[in-house]
Chains A and B, each alone.
Chain A
Amino acid sequence: MITGILLQIAQTLIAILLAPLLMGWVNQCRAWLQGRTAPPLTQPYRTLRKLFHKDAVIASNASPLFRFAPYLIFSCMVLAAGLVPTIANDLPFSPAADVIALVGILALARVFLALAAMDIGTSFGTLGARREMLVSFLAEPALLMVFFTASLISQSTELPHIVETLAQKKFAIYPSLAFAAVAFWMISVAENARIPVDNPTTHLELTMIHEAMVLEYSARHLALIEWAVALKLFTYSVLGIALFLPWGIAPRGDVAALPLALAAMVAKLAAGGAALSFMEAISAKVRLFRAPEFLGTAFLLAVLGMLTHFLLEV
């Protein structure tokens, strides 16, 4: 039990500390693929440090909700990251929230970000909030469907149980998981504001989604939001690993397997980040109203995955 709690805290801390590194790695890969000189791997940490030191500039008509939201969003993302098995499958906290609750936490953070964006009352803030909710209303049920497919196979909605079942099952191709994996990739791209749905480096307000929502934030509030964004990318990445490539995660009570698990996770994350930047480099951002089509496809794929499970695998 005590090792469990220690592992839980350790995994959460690893997630918090490694998340900006993953962001830096994705940015670096993308710079290379675009033929630019890459920023150093630690650039996100430097940005965070710089932002924390600055004075916060807040619009004079901001309500308390505006200043409260970044802390809440950051806490939600920490909680979400702590729920996903990264190196060990021993998470004493996981009974408190299963995958449906995980989707709920992500939704809570998103709703508060959208509300905070509407608080100042600039046109771009509300525009961003509206678009973010548009993207999420299709992405969130699709994500739920992906989780449902995985939990139908493993007969549980608890992530450690899902991972245990999927990792220990003898290797076989599940058609439903293949559908779910494609859908999950598409959802992750949309939810993390990556190309082709959104562009994280855009400076053109009219096409922004995520960036338009955080236009009014500065200094420590912006730092917390940026960190939360990095944590979100990290959470989605380890979720994808846990659902579709669970091999290498240390089983319950096996402390000796931890170093190997850590190495496996870093390797998988590096590969995943490179793949993400590669996909970004070869695709173009779509028009806003093509985004629902993109996500509708993801939703249908996820539902198809669940149907396939019911038809072929029961």
Chain B
Amino acid sequence: MSVLADLDAHILDLAWAGVLYWLVLGFSAPLLQRWRGVLVHLVFPLSALGALFIAAVGVAGLALPPSAMVLPIGLPDLPFHLRLDALSAFFLALLGSAAFGITVYAAGYFRSMQAGPLALVGLWYHLFLAGMATVMLADDAYAFMVAWEVMALSSYFLVTTDHDVPEIRRAGFLYLLIAHVGAVSLLLTFGVLQGGHGAYTFDYMRHSEITPFWASAAYLLALFGFGAKAGLVPLHVWLPEAHPAAPSPVSALMSGVMLKTAVYGLLRVTFDLLDLRIGWWGTLTLALGLVTALYGVIFAAVQSDMKRLLAWSSIENIGILIAAFGLTLIFYTEGKGALAALSLTAMLYHAINHAFFKSLLFIGTGSVLHATGERRMGRLGGLIRFMPWTAWLTLIGALAIAGLPPLNGFVSEWLLLQAFLLTPGLTQPYLNMVIPVAAASVALAAALAAYVMVKYFGVIFLGRPRDPALEHAHEANWPERLGMLWLAAGCVALGLFPAQVIARIAPVVRHLTGQALANDGNWLLLAPLAAERASYAPLIFLAVILVVLLFTFIWVRRVYHGRVRHADPWDCGYPEQNPRTQDSAEGFGQPIRHIFVSFMRVERETPDPFDRHPHYRGDSRDKLWLLLYKPIADLVGWLSAQAGRLQHGRIQWYLTYSFVTLIVLLVFVSR
């Protein structure tokens, strides 16, 4: 018992040991370049164990009081402060549990890689993991920003793993640029929070008082900075470029886990470091989140590249998270603690759900990519026959992300919708107008997500192979299957045991909002408020479906028969049916494009009716890029062209510049 109590006291040491373990693994990767077998068969499996350890520390840390420590590294007068409280522990658990599945998968995925690039990937991959974990542990602005930059830079190098492709270099540059614009904004946030005293520890910020004006400034800067990392519209443009460019396990880490660090930061700044919160912040954030959710899901529906589709879907999910965050703020500032606790629970639940199902879907694309070498959905099809493991596990992820019961996506959606239903009685009358519209938008985004996932799964895995080469697609290897299995099992478990999960994350909710969600039901029944108001029991739900299914099956077989004849599909009188007459990805998205065309710039090349080899291309692009980013880029380009006029490359001119500068300075000094 005493050993266990001792472990409790050293929980932060354990977390930091996990981070160091990752760092050691990362820096050993380049040294092991000669022994490719060790790299492939040892480094990644060991790192997966580290992830499991971090997850265990996180889960254990949820129930423990905060602990802090100071490391003798960093600036002379500002060493690294680390702290593990319930909020950090929750996000560490999320990081560890999702990273475990992804890293197990990566052990199989990177097998085919050359030793040189593999060693580099091993380095950056572990720096990325360690950076994310340190972001969650940091307790002063300096450590936070250092970890934040390690995370941004290592993920930049991971994105540009295939740097010989020009588009990938371009995507990496865009990512780096927006990551740093965001980082500058975060620096300014901490600058505002330290209140002119030069005290950059979070502990100081927690206890300092700040005027409402500066609090709003800090909040808006934080929203901008973390929004840039999370992909909040209109700062989302890098996300559909950078996430698909990376190797699939890295895409999974970026979408599944890295986006959550932004959510973590927003929660940390708003509910922990700032000592006051103002009502309109919540409304603004709710609106931004809903716009992001709808924008993301509409664009996801018209994508034809499978990884890009998932990246847009991540934008949608971030939108839902941010909307739930805004709702929490609204309730909190209105003094409705119980409701704030409900919507915060929904948000945290959705964060961990998204970590599981989005990682699962992204690594699923990795197996498809390895088996077929194709990312365009219009060239895939019928893979459920050749890759049953990947297909069925991906199906679990797709159903979960579409918010279908009894999987996990439904639970968080259910909690969020319950939070909207409890709003009557808010003091601000305008909120009573906002809330129904917001609830409708969330419902619409969730319904469109189902459309997107039917398209995603149906076009890639169902139907007939659109290319004869797909008949030779091979199944994922064993570590890949295990990684997917872990994440899929997580989706099912999070869906079936919501009461247990909510009890686990109650300390986080209590820590931030002062109240926790009481479960009125028993271990089977999830009833966040009162059992007669709303309840949901996924296990019973699943049991009834399974019993009816089994009973129907036996009844049909017993009373009638199970005879089957196989035949060709019905051709509806058109004998010239071939795999290309199936719906393409563009075709499946066409109704959505038709309805929401005003958000998009559609580029189409339609074939000539007399063309013997017809070629069709349809591309729906983001209009915001043209409206917002292009003018800024043009302006920057113009400014640097003007500045370029000063540069001639001739020494005499530069000497003249120095001379004139000297004269001007002398005039100033002599006055």
Contact = CB atoms under 8 A, between A and B. Distances in A.
Interface of A: 52-53, 55-61, 63, 65, 71-72, 74-76, 78-79, 82, 93, 95-98, 100-101, 104-105, 107-108, 110-111, 114-115, 118-124, 126-127, 129-131, 133-134, 136-138, 140-141, 144-145, 148, 151-152, 155-158, 161, 205, 215-216, 220, 224, 289, 292, 299, 302-303, 306-307, 310-311, 314
Contact of A115 (B403, B440, B458): B458
Nearest to B591: A134
Given A95-B525, A122-B577, A157-B534, A141 B462 contact: no
16 contacts: A52-B560, A53-B560, A58-B564, A65-B384, A108-B399, A110-B450, A119-B384, A119-B462, A121-B462, A122-B572, A123-B572, A136-B451, A141-B443, A289-B594, A310-B432, A314-B432
Interface string B435-464: 111011001101110110111011100111
Contacts of A216: 569-570
Interface stretch (B158-166, B357-365, B535-543, B658-666): B535-543
Given A100-B413, A123-B572, A140-B446, 6 more contacts: A60-B569, A121-B382, A121-B462, A122-B570, A289-B594, A303-B436
A155 B447 CA distance: 24
B532 A100 contact: no
B556 interface: yes
A110 B535 CA distance: 23
B402 interface: yes
Contacts of B560: 52-53, 220
Contacts of A63: 384-385, 462
B211 interface: no
Contacts of A108: 399, 404-405
How many B residues are at the interface, by size bracket?
A: 35 or more
Contacts of A292: 591, 595
Report, nearest first, the 4 A-B pairs whose CB atoms are least far apart: A121-B463, A141-B443, A121-B464, A126-B583
B552 A61 contact: no
A136 B403 CA distance: 14
Contact of B405 (A101, A152, A205): A101
Interface in B535-579: 535-537, 540-541, 544-546, 548-549, 552-553, 556, 559-561, 563-572, 577, 579
B473 to A, nearest CB: 14
B300 to A, nearest CB: 12
Given A63-B385, A122-B570, A126-B583, A107 B424 contact: no
B426 to A, nearest CB: 10
B421 interface: yes
A93 B535 CA distance: 11
Given A72-B549, A104-B403, A155 B533 contact: yes
Contacts of B402: 107, 111
Contacts of A111: 399, 402, 404, 450, 453-454
A135 to B, nearest CB: 10
Interface in B403-430: 403-405, 410, 413-414, 417-418, 420-421, 424-425
